[in-house]
Chains A and B, each alone.
Chain A
Amino acid sequence: KNQVEQSPQSLIILEGKNCTLQCNYTVSPFSNLRWYKQDTGRGPVSLTIMTFSENTKSNGRYTATLDADTKQSSLHITASQLSDSASYICVVSAANQAGTALIFGKGTTLSVSS
């Protein structure tokens, strides 16, 4: 069964610190992996999208990594800011002749405190 597991479920860090969020997946056939940021009460916004051949992709202070062999991805946030407080959602796309399926993780809630 296609699944996406994210850890930790929630995280509290001090402003200025770094943190890493994890995403493990069992999705086949893998097409791409996306990280979204969702502020409370708002729609998710895309941070990165990575295909099978990409190991690392950055978007400002956000760096995503992908290990297709171990089926793991991480999202590293550098020098956290209060505005980074949000839910981070990992989404894996599976594509075959029948179509495309999007498998969502339940998200990691990050709280950055001053």
Chain B
Amino acid sequence: EAQVTQNPRYLITVTGKKLTVTCSQNMNHEYMSWYRQDPGLGLRQIYYSMNVEVTDKGDVPEGYKVSRKEKRNFPLILESPSPNQTSLYFCASSPWAQNEQFFGPGTRLTVL
């Protein structure tokens, strides 16, 4: 089944404890992206990747890192999480940036 998977789906952590949210797609898509969704603000892009080893900042990249060492995986790294990073996170992929995106199921992160 063609899909985008994210892990973990739910995470509660404390300020400053490094964490990684994994994202994987099995559709051989070139384009991958991370979003956060907060009430009243809609979806905001954190980082995106046009291809392997090519990543770029979105609208809200501060406090996040990403890597794209292989086509199928695009992990999101929070080196030192803070409470303002409490949010619902979505990973998405598409064949190219211009195509419709396929979204993962989301990761709900709480930073205490």
Q: Contact residues of A with B, CB < 8 Å?
A: 31-32, 34, 41-46, 49, 89, 93, 95, 99-100, 102, 104-107
Contacts and interface: CB of A to CB of B under 8 A. Distances in A.
Interface residues of B, number: 23
**Chain B contact surface mostly:** strand
A49 B100 contact: yes
A interface, over-half SS? strand
B43 A31 contact: no
Contact of A43 (B50, B99, B106): B106
Contacts of A93: 97-98
A46 B100 contact: yes
Nearest to B96: A100
B55 interface: no
9 contacts: A41-B106, A43-B104, A44-B101, A44-B103, A45-B103, A93-B98, A95-B98, A104-B43, A106-B42
